[in-house]
Amino acid sequence: MRFLPHTDTDRHAMLERIGADNIRDLFSDIPSEFHLQAGSLNLPDALHEAGIMRKFTQAAEANRHAGNTRCFLGGGTYHHFIPAVVDYVISRGEFLTAYTPYQPEIAQGTLQTLFEFQTMIARLLGMEVANASMYDAATGVTEAALMARRITRRKKVLTTTSVNSRYRDVTRNYLSRLDGEFAEIVCAGFATDLDAVIAAMDNSTACVIVQYPDFYGSIYDLQPLRDACDASGALMVVAFSDATSFGLISPPGDFGADMVVGSGQALGIPMGFGGPHIGLFACRQKHVRQMPGRVCGMTEDRDGKRGFVLTLSTREQHIRREKATSNICSNQGLMCTANATYLSLMGDAGLATIARHSAAALATLIHDLPEGVETAKGPRLHETVLSFADQDTRERFLKLARDNNIFAGIPLEQFEPARTPRHLLVATTEMTEAADISDYLLALKEACHVC
């Protein structure tokens, strides 16, 4: 069927019904200088299909991306290796076309995949129960704040600037339409200031949201925060960006987190110029009925056969609107399948290997930094901040890196406009090779005039 199926007769009938002489009359409110005139677009002649493919392939080859450039970018999206099996599985029609398991009797494959996904995520995060995913990490953090307000019946949400600014922006926007306070503790350095966070807590605090490892790659002891939350009655929400970190360090659940939320992009999903990605959400079992989204469960039918069902589905399409816990809780079913496939392939040992390689690559980079470039203090896992003497030196380095096919990092002021423009957020993964680090350091030395 043609994209525009209306005939000339159809169009004339519609114009006559609304009292217009021609289609141009519909745009009369737009000043005439903004109207396109015939031939003004200077479009080339039409091409046959093979010609179109050649033209767009040539144009695409000019793009620079993590696949053809050495990548040191992070900030919430990371360049990890994705086994070919992942793309094969999620490209199969039964997974690719399945939207939502409304009819369990014909959606057992989808339901089982989500059930296995939940089990793996709960294990990875050290939590008791996980849902069938959220849109992304930012909406997951927002939902955790709303969930904490429901559970505690308190209205103050406390966080810190060491949490990814995108997560904070979405949460702030949601809470701005509700009563209560959204307070952000400013971190002067490039690490989470737990003492300042704990000092800001009081008996009106519904939850404290921290990131671990934090936005700057810093790792720290979460136990003092757990103790402070117990003393004040607040809930402890821990966010994260790169889930492969928990192949090496203890997950937030081991520290007694009430909710753990973050991104599953690192688990078999490409950077994709920003999406589509997936949000992971886990909590303690006692809070499961306040958790947004859907939860798939395993059961038996009356004949004793194993079956999978939607145990909880708390969005307004399923229950009364006033009882719904969220209106943004559709899951990323295909991305769940990618995560589950990736985790099945990697296992505990594979994730540990990935995390160790990422950490070792960053340690090598930091160890050999030239004079004139400083790094953030304290233990880092796979991400850190490099600080230059001035913006000119940083920009000179970024140009040298680009000329050598290196994505050298993200200017920090893109996330934090108040920062002086001389800092660079840098990340490493298992895709970072020794030669990449060597070339990176050479460009740094040249930019700092120490070669």
Question: Would you say residue 108 lies in a domain?
Answer: yes
Give the pLDDT of residue 1. Answer: 46
Residues 277 and 136: their CA atoms lie apart, in Å, by 6
Same domain membership, residue 367 and residue 340? no
Is 337:409 a contact under the CB 8 Å cutoff?
A: no
Question: Would you say residue 19 lies in a domain?
Answer: no
Give the domain-ending residue among 309, 328, 344: 344
The tokens describing 375, both together, are 């790094």
Give the domain-ending residue among 321, 344, 367: 344
Same domain membership, residue 209 and residue 273? yes
SS3 236: strand
Same domain membership, residue 251 and residue 176? yes
What whole-number percentage of the chain has pLDDT above 90? 78
Could you tell me whether strands 235-240 and 205-211 are parallel, antiparallel, or unpaired per DSSP bridges? parallel
Question: Would you say residue 57 lies in a domain?
Answer: no
Q: Which of 261, 285, 274 is nearest to 128 (CA)?
A: 285
Is 198:228 a contact under the CB 8 Å cutoff?
A: yes
Same domain membership, residue 395 and residue 255? no
pLDDT tens, position by position, 241-284: 999 999 999 999 999 999 999 999 999 999 998 888 999 999 99
C-alpha angle 236/238/239, rounded to 5°?
150
Question: Would you say residue 65 lies in a domain?
Answer: no
Same domain membership, residue 360 and residue 252? no
Is 416:161 a contact under the CB 8 Å cutoff?
A: yes
Taking every pair of C-alpha atoms in the chain, what is the biggest distance, in angstroms?
A: 76
pLDDT tens, position by position, 436-445: 999 999 999 9
pLDDT tens, position by position, 298-337: 999 899 999 999 888 766 555 666 666 765 656 688 999 9
Is 389:38 a contact under the CB 8 Å cutoff?
A: no
Same domain membership, residue 202 and residue 132? yes
Which CATH number goes with the domain that contains 212? 3.40.640.10
Domain membership of residue 161 as a residue range: 84-344
What whole-number percentage of the chain has pLDDT above 70? 95
H or E element at residue 111 = helix 108-125
Same domain membership, residue 362 and residue 276? no
Give the domain-ending residue among 314, 344, 374: 344
Question: Would you say residue 300 lies in a domain?
Answer: yes
Same domain membership, residue 314 and residue 420? no
- Render 10-73 in DSSP notation, one character per residue: HHHHHHHHHT-SSGGGGGTTS-GGGSPPTTTT-PPPP--HHHHHHHHHHHHHT---TTTSEE--
Question: Would you say residue 419 lies in a domain?
Answer: yes
pLDDT tens, position by position, 143-162: 999 999 999 999 999 999 99
Same domain membership, residue 297 and residue 436? no
pTM for the predicted model, two decimal places: 0.88
SS3 296: strand
Which CATH number goes with the domain that contains 432? 3.90.1150.10
Residues 101 and 307: their CA atoms lie apart, in Å, by 13
Domain count, the chain: 2
Same domain membership, residue 228 and residue 99? yes
- Render 326-359 in DSSP notation, one character per residue: BSS----HHHHHHHHHHHHHHHHHHHHHHHHHHH
